[in-house]
Amino acid sequence: MSLALYLHWPFCLRKCPYCDFNSHVRDRFDPSAWEQALLADLAFEAELTGGREISSIFFGGGTPSLMPPALVARIIDQAAKLWRFADDIEVTLEANPSSVEASRFADLALAGVNRVSLGLQALDDQTLKFLGRLHSVAESLDALAIAQSHFSRVSFDLIYARPGQTPESWQAELTQALSYGTGHLSLYQLTIEPGTQFATLVRQGKLVPQDDDAAAELFALTREMTAAAGLPAYEISNHARPGEESRHNLTYWRYGDYIGVGPGAHGRRLGVATVRHKKPENFLKAVEEQGQGLCETRALGQREQAAEAVMMGLRLAEGIRPAALAGRFGLTQDQLIVPAKRRFYREMGYLEEADAGTDAHVMRVTERGMAVLDGLLGELVPEELVA
């Protein structure tokens, strides 16, 4: 089975008020030190997984478009020496749509990046300011045009269900977004994450999030509009033309093996969960002292893996194959999914599946069920799998 490779670049120019990702603001960094550390971290993982095929590479962050293109090229070249690359390997890099970063797109394409994910986040300047973004809408659209001229596959992100946002304003914004012709959109509801600036503002009563009913209406509108435009939701927050889905993220949702390299990166490979040191300085020190940046490795039990596979797989429109999944982890279907809840939610129209119990049999969450997915998963997965 092929592998996915995730590489985390931890630096940003500013910490956004909604962001709980592992990102850090630094005045300067040493490109040479980071090249040595990241290549050493790669080599360590290759000792465990070398010989396998890499189907995708994803540079995430932070802001990986701040990486020197030469460093991106060096990492891709080294990965090609350590593993076998699939003929159609997908190499994605997340980018902010600033003019400075867009000026690097040509060099990033030459380095081997063939897919870019742009963090536009909104299509009006007032909202961008509210979200703490440093770019303007005009700058965003210029960067999008440059990206589309250099990369065969381009995606961009928007955040909706913002305070005070109406269905009419979101419909207009999403209509504009769909007009740009990208094959993939990531559309996320604004969530208030613990430890963020927005969480502090909510606690102080200075920010009032959308209520659940209003957010649900916007969620339904989003799925209706993207489906009509030929970019249906293939995952709860991700929409694509058929064949343009993110292959890298599909590895996560289909519970395949993936390697995580760089500060704070998580991995799942060979039945082991891995975590790297989050703070950049601690990561560099760990690699210098032990040849890799790990701060935690934990063997995953079959039951824990089964629970994760169900919860990840049911996020997808394609669903899961319960019989095949149960067999993969040495369980029965009744141990994998609570039988009574399975019947109840099928009768309620939240799940759909045929009666056959073969390995090819598929269970999917319906449109109605996707609106309450978190609650659904909490009841379908047996407590003993997640305890």
Beta-bridge mates of residue 239: 185, 233
| Residue 355 scores a pLDDT above 70 | no
Residues 356 and 362 sit within 8 Å (Cβ to Cβ): no
- Round to whole Å and give the CA distance between 228 and 233: 11
Residue 2 pLDDT: 76
% of the chain exceeding 90 in pLDDT: 83
Please give the average per-residue pLDDT across 68-85, as a whole number.
96
Q: How confident is the model at residue 31 (pLDDT cuts 50, 70, 90)?
A: confident
Token pair belonging to 344: 């109840």
pLDDT confidence tier of residue 28, bands split at 50, 70 and 90: confident
Per-residue pLDDT tens over the stretch 133-185: 989 999 999 999 999 999 999 999 999 999 999 999 999 999 999 999 999 99
Kind and range of the H or E run holding 74? helix 69-82
| % residues pLDDT > 70 (the chain) | 98
Q: What ranges in 259-366 are assigned the alpha helix state H? A: 280-290, 302-313, 322-328, 333-336, 339-347
**pLDDT > 70? residue 367:** yes
Note the pLDDT tens digit of each residue in 328-352.
999 999 999 999 999 999 999 999 9
For residue 139, the model assigns a pLDDT of 94
Check residue 327 and give its pLDDT: 93
Q: Between 19 and 338, where is the model more confident? A: 338
State pLDDT tens for residues 185-200.
Answer: 999 999 988 988 888 9
Residues ≥6 apart with Cβ < 8 Å to 131: 16, 17, 18, 121, 122, 159
Sorting pLDDT into bands at 50, 70 and 90, what band is 307? very high
In the sheet that 115-121 helps form, which strands lie side by side, from edge to edge?
233-235, 238-240, 184-189, 153-160, 115-121, 84-95, 53-61, 3-9, 258-261, 266-269, 272-276, 294-299
- Residue-wise pLDDT tens digits, 252-266: 999 999 999 999 999
pLDDT, position 252: 97
pLDDT at residue 74 greater than cutoff 70: yes
Q: What is the mean pLDDT of the chain?
A: 93
pLDDT bin (cut points 50, 70, 90) of residue 359 is: low
pTM, rounded to two decimals:
0.95
Average of pLDDT values for 353-361? 67
The H or E element containing residue 3 is strand 3-9
